[in-house]
Chains A and B, each alone.
Chain A
Amino acid sequence: MKTGKLRVPSNDLSKRVLTEVGFEDRLEGFRLRERSGPITVTMYSFAEVVSLLNDPHPRLDFKQLEEWIRSVMGDTDLAKHIAQAIKKGNNDQERTFSIRDLMEERLSQCGMEGHHEENII
């Protein structure tokens, strides 16, 4: 896990990051598999998003994620870094890795460890 990009979160923000959201605030992504196609993943927590990004074949609308981080999680600092990662990435794989690292850093700051393996395509 890369660290040091994000400001230390407030207690309120940490609590939000570790709390599940309601139905209206859910986020959708996909896990791709060769024999089943994209499997829809409905996510209700920050940690679930991190878990998806650690899948070998995750797919996510990064703009939607950035907005979700900003408005639902209230994490403007992370949202700003995600926006930069979207801009800097040459492709969605690079964006996935950068955003995953950022979100893992935030999760770790909030007291929950993430874990990732190398994505292989």
Chain B
Amino acid sequence: MNGYAGKILRINLTDRRISTIDTKEYEQWVGGHGMGSAIFWDLVKDKTISGFYPENIVTVMTSPLSGTLVPGASARTEVQGIGIQSYPIEWFTRSNFGGRFAPMLKYAGWDGIVIEGKADKPVWVDIRNEDVKVKDARHLWGLDTWKTQEMIWREVGGRGYGGWVELSSEERTTQRPAVLAIGPAGENLSRIACLVHDAGNASGQGGFGAIWGSKNLKAISVIGTGSIQIADPKGLMESRLWAQVKYGTDLKNLDASWFSKFGRRKPQNLFWDKHERARLQACIGCHQGCKERSDTGYGNESTCEETSFYQGYDKWKHGGRQTSAAYIAADLLQRYGINAYEASRGLTYIRALQKMGILGRGKRLKCDLDFEKIGEVEFADHYLKLIAYRQGIGDDFGEGFVRASKRWGRLEEDLKTGVLPYPYWGFPEHGYDPRAEVEWGYGSILGDRDINEHDFNPFFWWPSGAIWAGKTPQPPAEQVAKIVAEKLIPYENDPLMLDFSTDNIYSEHMAKLVAWHRHYTRFWKQSVLYCDNRWAEFINSKVPDYRGLTGDGEQRFFNAVTGKKFSFLDGMEMGRKIWNLDNAIWTLQGRHRDMVHFSDYIYHVPYGGSGNFSMYYLPGREKGKWDYIRVNGRCLDKGRFEEFKTKFYNLEGWDTRSGWPKRRTLESLDLKSIADELERNKKLGA
């Protein structure tokens, strides 16, 4: 089995039983999410249980590419199980993170981990190649995620760096164990708690930190000395060099790489003002690196939302100058193990309630946060401690802000006005608002969570920047739509899939875009585990005709590692199969089309107010002519979204009345047993 370690580790925390699953049993699902969903389906008989129940399992999966030299695909780890963040139903969900964990798990000889049951007291799992032990973690309970990892590093590898760790008389390494841990937020069962690995790699969405906390699982540590069999090592190296030369950053002419996901001129994914002295930090196998480590020691490895969480308050409070507060606040998020998006949008929300005179000292919602100190480290620490330790009103915050709002009797009203900016399933808005960039919102509401998949966002970023600055965005919208449409197999050559005009966003063209996106990400990004930061790449400014790597690269690397003969289309079809399996799980959990609605404000409050300013541009047609069109200032039409859902369900081969998968569709995907189970539960689409 080229690319695979060959076995999956199964840990029952209730009786501390360690067993293995032969990876071959699930090889048809390839890896990552596909395998995780299939294992979940087989092992969790009652899919309607709460995520907090011991019967819920958590899968932690790698892919055949994990630990190899495939660029931007070596290091992601996929986490799945019934989540506890979504509302009103705790959907079966996913999250994933980078760093060193997936490669190290493969080097230790495991393709994944299945966590079952609940320990009777705090434990951690110590994996040293084949040797797996469930150990007492009472000395770790109460520590933050960084301290926990440091303690385990010492316990496994001794003090200092670069020394040998002896795993047996013939197996030793200078590596440190890769540790995935929870902090106080997870221990205290906050629904917005994360799993954190190294300084800043977090499995954030879904509340998996609290699920581990409920299982009394503090951490999993893994260290390995093995390697991975590659089917065609020469082909893999040639492919990497091909990608580097054709699509990678042109170091002699950086300006040529002004736009690319794969070969960026500025690879960092940081929103704050960068440190003066810092170096790039990358996940194992990555050709670029999106993180940094700085000489200050603050903010190391944090990226994306956690680097935005406190920056605005910090700069405002300090006369426009960013201080260390923004960095330290991000570090606190990592250490307590708290979801940055929830913390960020939640702070906006409670500040609004404070301004309304509802929340604060002596108010109906008693809260002793000193809002005068917002922007200072002291405030951030107090706020995040409330979430992590759930003291006072923090007990409500720890439920996530939708459930907190429900407790406060405000949910309906605040979702109507948009004061609580949570558009779908109790998840905070990401920024790619459903009213503007519809494929993001549609994908989220038709799924289980905020999708956090950035495949089409480049078509917002560069026109929105260029038009704001009075420049003409290049390449033109029509050319972009044509290039991308060529790559949208099996719906290829329909440029209207990229038309974000209001007339087109409820069309079958848009349904095809959403379906393509669901299928692509379910396989190539969440099962094969290509990183969202570098894939998909549709457009690359260095390539003379702008055509990016996607459609050529994914299967080339995959086949070099596995020796299989997968086409891009084969991958898309696998993605459709996995997407159908996930939908079958949600159907058993209670999903019905009647509940697939955005929060009220999405239908009633125009995005960005009047829309009469340069903010959000996407490709689209106006009076039959392609351009980058302004999409802020609009709402979604509820009735037309209903029509869209019907088109989408038809396209997927699902029952348009219920949204449930049909037998014919499932059997065409070799999922007869899934159809049988839905039928037994009277939930098979007609």
Binary per-residue interface labels of chain A (13-31) against chain B in the complex, 1 for a CB within 8 Å, 0 otherwise: 0000000001100101011
Answer whether residue A48 sits at the interface, using C-beta atoms and an 8 A cutoff: yes
B544: Cβ under 8 A from any A Cβ: no
The A38-88 residues at the B interface (CB cut-off 8 A) are: 38-42, 44-45, 47-48, 50-52, 54-55, 57, 59-64
Q: A57-B465, A61-B608, A121-B469 are in contact. Are A36 and B308 (CB under 8 A)?
A: yes
Return chain B residues, CB-CB under 8 Å to A112.
319
Q: Are A92 and B315 in contact (CB under 8 A)?
A: no
Residues of B within 8 A of A38 (CB): 431, 433, 608, 615-616, 632
Bound-complex Cα distance A86 to B166 (A) = 69
Q: Is A5 an interface residue (CB 8 A)?
A: no
- The yes or no answer to B242 lying at the interface (CB within 8 A) is no
Is B297 close to A, CB under 8 A? no
Whether a CB of chain B sits under 8 angstroms from the CB of A110 is: no
Per the bound structure, the CA–CA distance linking A104 and B319 in Å amounts to 10
Provide the residues of chain B in CB contact with A26, threshold 8 Å: 352, 355
A48 touches B308 (CB 8 A): no
Q: With a CB–CB cut-off of 8 A, which chain B residues contact A57? A: 465, 468
Note all chain B residues with C-beta closer than 8 A to A115: 319-321
Q: Does B294 contact A (CB under 8 A)?
A: no
A11 at the interface (CB under 8 A from B): no
Within 8 A of A (CB), among B265-323: 269, 271, 304-305, 308, 312, 315-316, 319-321
- Grouping DSSP codes into helix (H, G, I), strand (E, B) and loop, the B interface class, with mixed when no group exceeds half, is loop
Chain B residues, CB < 8 A from A90: 470
| Interchain CB contact (< 8 A) of B460 among A37, A51, A91, A121 | A37
Partner of B468, one of A31, A33, A42, A91: A91
User: By the criterion CB–CB under 8 Å, are A113 and B430 in contact?
Assistant: no
Known A38-B431, A114-B319; contact A64-B615, beta-carbon cutoff 8 A: no
Residues of chain A within 8 A of B351, CB atoms compared: 42, 44
Check B609 for interface membership: any CB of A closer than 8 A: yes
Whether A37 contacts B320 in the complex (CB less than 8 A), given A30-B608, A60-B613, A91-B470, comes out as: no
B348 within 8 A of partner (CB): yes
Q: Is the CB of B433 within 8 A of A52?
A: no
Given A38-B615, A116-B320, decide whether A23 and B469 contact each other with a Cβ distance below 8 A. no
What residue of chain B has the Cβ atom nearest to residue A37's Cβ?
A: B431
Query: A39 with B308: in contact, given A26-B355, A30-B608, A32-B464 (CB under 8 Å)?
Result: yes
Which one, A31, A37, A61, A116, contacts B433 given CB within 8 A?
A37
Q: How far is the CA of A26 from the CA of B351 in the complex (A)?
A: 11
Q: What 1/0 flags go to B327-361 for Cβ under 8 Å of A?
A: 00000000000000000000010011001110000
Asked if B610 is an interface residue, CB under 8 A from chain A, the answer is yes
B356, B608, B614: the one within 8 Å of A91 (CB): B614
- Given the known A-B contacts A42-B351, A93-B468, A121-B468, are A59 and B613 also in contact in the complex, defined by CB atoms under 8 Å? yes
Whether A34 sits at the interface, judged by CB under 8 Å, is: yes
Question: Is the pair A33, B614 in contact by a Cβ cutoff of 8 Å?
Answer: no
Residues of A with C-beta under 8 A to B470: 90-94
For residue B469, which residues in chain A have a CB less than 8 angstroms away from its CB? 91-93, 121
- Most B CB contacts (10 A, CB to CB) among A28, A37, A55, A62 go to A37
Does B457 interact with chain A (Cβ within 8 Å)? yes
- Tell me, yes or no, whether B612 is within 8 Å of chain A by CB: yes
A35 is an interface residue with CB less than 8 A from chain B: yes
Q: Which residues of A contact B429 (CB under 8 A)?
A: 40
Q: Which residues of B contact A61 (CB under 8 A)?
A: 608-610, 612-613
Contact B616–A23 (Cβ < 8 Å):
no
Q: Kindly state the separation between the CA atoms of A41 and B432 in the bound complex, as whole angstroms.
A: 14
Q: Give the residues in chain B near A51, CB-CB below 8 Å.
A: 312, 315-316, 320
Chain A residues contacting B352 (CB-CB under 8 Å) are: 23, 26, 42
B164 at the interface (CB under 8 A from A): no
Contact B433 A41 (CB under 8 A): no
- A52 → chain B, closest Cβ, in Å? 7
Find out whether the CB atom of B355 lies under 8 angstroms from the CB atom of A36.
Answer: no
Q: Does B32 contact A (CB under 8 A)?
A: no
Q: Is the Cβ of B431 less than 8 Å from the Cβ of A34?
A: no
The chain A residue sitting closest to B345, CB to CB, is: A40
B616 adjacent to A36 (CB under 8 Å)? no
Distance, CA A84 to CA B384, complexed state (A): 44
Are B269 and A48 within 8 A (Cβ)? Answer: no
CB distance from A48 to the nearest CB of B (A): 5
Does A44 contact B316, Cβ atoms closer than 8 Å? no
**Complex Cα spacing A50 to B321, Å:** 12
> In the complex the two chains form, is B610's CB within 8 Å of A37's CB?
no
Taking a contact as CB atoms closer than 8 A, the residue among A41, A59, A64 that contacts B312 in the complex is A41
Residue in chain B with minimal CB distance to A48 = B316
A115 to B318, CA, bound (A): 9
The listed residue (B316, B356, B454, B468) touching A35 by CB distance below 8 A is B454
> When chains A and B are docked, how far (Å) is the Cα of A60 from the Cα of B468?
11
CB distance from A72 to the nearest CB of B (A): 13
Interface residues of B in 622-654 (CB under 8 A from A): 632
A62 to B609, CA, bound (A): 11
Which single residue of chain A is at the shortest CB-CB distance from B269? A35
Instruction: Indicate if B186 sits at the interface (CB-CB under 8 A).
Output: no
Binary interface encoding of chain B residues 91-110 relative to chain A, with 1 for a CB under 8 A from any of its CBs, else 0: 00000000000000000000
Q: Which of A34, A42, A93, A116 interacts with B461 by CB under 8 Å? A: A34
A/B interface sample: 8 pairs, CB < 8 A = A23-B357, A26-B355, A33-B431, A37-B616, A44-B351, A48-B316, A59-B613, A63-B613
Additional pairs, 16, CB under 8 Å, beyond known A22-B355, A26-B355:
A30-B615, A31-B308, A32-B465, A34-B457, A35-B304, A36-B431, A38-B431, A44-B355, A48-B316, A50-B320, A59-B468, A59-B613, A63-B610, A63-B613, A92-B468, A94-B470
Chain A residues at the B interface, C-beta cutoff of 8 Å: 22-23, 26, 28, 30-42, 44-45, 47-48, 50-52, 54-55, 57, 59-64, 90-94, 112-116, 121
Q: Top 8 closest A-B pairs, CB basis? A: A37-B431, A91-B470, A115-B320, A23-B355, A51-B316, A37-B432, A92-B614, A36-B431
